[in-house]
Amino acid sequence: MRFVPQFTDGQKFAHPLGKIVCVGRNYADHAKELENPVPTEPLLFIKPSTSALGFDAPLAPPFSRGEVHFELELALLIGETLTDVTQDEAERAIVGIGLALDLTLRDVQTRLKENGHPWEISKAFDGACPLSSFLPLTRVPNWNALAFSLEIDGEERQYGEGADMLFPVPSLVAEMSRHFTLEAGDVILTGTPAGVGELPRGAQLRMTLTGSLEVTASVIE
């Protein structure tokens, strides 16, 4: 069943889910923990809508294909068409904010990168992007004040703040719109902070966003 964007008040978004545009290494500490260089411009990639699912059922990634890593990220819901827009226009088009897991087949990704091959199959498989519902935005928030975290079996594994992004939300979304037209229903993932690691089978997850959103999920045994 395809993921349908909806808000935390239960209202469904008026448009179907589109593409999911992501940025890699938007937190310097995360780039360093994977022994990658810190980028000087956004590293963009796309997950298809078929990679999305909700947190209501246990997560069942393809463990048979190697290590599955978790990467917690802020998710932004786009409400109108954006093509090569300004930062102010980009901000005003964001109608919701939520949480997402950018699940990654790390063994597969490493092998593909070592061979100089594209690594979409490590990031874009079915179920690779669990998404929460979205807090509705009626005004532009203070992006720097946003904080989000992930606990696994009661232990905090990731914590991030908007202030630590290498490419803040307004400039990031505007830059994305230079390369890809963004449409209503598209989702932006803003990068993951340090602390990524292997997703354990049978784990219990708790994700929070600035005291305004809490999401729980489980992983299959």
pLDDT at 2 over 90: no
Q: Which CATH code fits 21-218?
A: 3.90.850.10
pLDDT at 172 over 70: yes
**Average pLDDT of span 41-64:** 96
pLDDT at 36 over 80: no
- pLDDT of 31: 58
Where does the pLDDT of residue 102 fall: very low under 50, low under 70, confident under 90, or very high at 90 and above? Answer: very high
Residue whose C-alpha is closest to residue 100's, from 133, 142, 144, 78: 133
Q: Answer for the pair 112, 118: CB distance below 8 angstroms, yes or no.
A: yes
From CA 37, how far away is CA 164, in angstroms rounded?
16
- pLDDT of 33: 66
From CA 72, how far away is CA 61, in angstroms rounded?
15
pLDDT at 34 over 70: no
**Average pLDDT of span 115-126:** 95
Task: Measure Cα distances from 144 to 32, 150, 167 in Å.
Answer: 22, 18, 11
pTM: predicted TM-score of the whole model, two decimal places: 0.95
pLDDT at 1 over 80: no
Helix (H, G, I), strand (E, B) or coil at 106: helix
Query: 């593409």: which residue's tokens?
Result: 19
Helical spans, DSSP H, in 1-119 = 28-33, 87-92, 106-114
- pLDDT of 13: 97
Phi then psi for residue 142, to 5 deg, are -85, 100
Query: 């978004």: which residue's tokens?
Result: 13
